[in-house]
Amino acid sequence: MHRIPSFFRTTMLVLWVAGCGGRSADAGAGGALGTGGVTGSIGTGTGSGTGGSNVKLDTGLGGSSGAVPDTGTAGGSGCDKDLSGTWDLFASSLGTGIVRGTLVVSKDGFSLTTSSSQLTYDAQGPSATWKHSDYYNEFPTTRLISVQNTPAAANTGSFPVVIGGHWVLQSNRETCTLDVAADKVTGNCTVNGSDYDVGGDDWPWDVLPSPENGLHYTVLRTDALASQFGDFGGNWTARSDSGSPQNCKIKLESNTATTSCNANNNFNGDLHLTIGTDCVASGVTPSGSEVSARRR
């Protein structure tokens, strides 16, 4: 079974700068989109560390969702101005070979498709839908996630989806809240029951992070830098209130993103990602995987 490289979750962390941790996490820097693997410890959720669940990225599950309109390329504009469009995601390592996924993003939302799942966010609702099947693409299920947002000003630069304000994401058993401002992101998730973390069968655990139940996470901008990500350019530090010394430092400057994590897992180390004006992104994960993304 292919594992999604830490690159994808870190990329979502870079785009959303909203950390909400991963399974078995210990000091979170993840968020609406995480950076981990199921054995990891932090995530783009802020986990109590840098983790997230594993995902296979091969052939895709039924293609991109029609629920996200305006999904073509961004009218020929450079990706330093607008990241809207359809992106082919690739990663390669000695252990997994080449794995693939597809991300469609526009001002109206996004859709992430892998070989076993599809997460669609419709910003007009707002609402979210997660379709998932097992490893053999059998027994498909569809879960609806309630989304509430009280908007607040936050310039995301080339990233077209509005993310500022107070957010409440709710499935049948899990509830996550996020407060996203230009210089600070806080998050908290709770589960109905005694589960260690978020990630039941009604939560997109294979795409989003799985924050630890009840912990609070903070991603704080320590200084601002010029970046194509608007207000989110700068140096950031992500931590949880677990008391753990683990943390992640995130830097968004110009067209580059770097993360440096002090964590007792495979996310310990540095990640580097550069987005070219030709709409080709490339980088390297802490584990040494080579990653790339290309807009169609």
- Where are the chain's structural domains? 6-295
Residue 14 scores a pLDDT above 60: no
Q: How confident is the model over 271-286, as pLDDT tens digits?
A: 899 999 899 999 988 8
**pLDDT band at residue 179, thresholds of 50, 70 and 90?**
very high
* DSSP letter (8 states) at residue 13: H
Q: How large is the average pLDDT for residues 217-246?
A: 92
Predicted confidence (pLDDT) at residue 39 exceeds the cutoff of 80? no
Residue 172, amino acid:
N
pTM for the whole thing? 0.73
Name, in order, each residue with C-beta under 8 angstroms of 290's C-beta and a sequence gap of 6 or more.
91, 92, 93, 282, 283, 284
Task: Report the range of poorest mean pLDDT among 154-168, 189-203, 245-259.
Answer: 189-203
Structure token digits, residue 178:
């996020």
Measured from the Cβ of residue 127, the count of other Cβ atoms closer than 10 Å reads 16
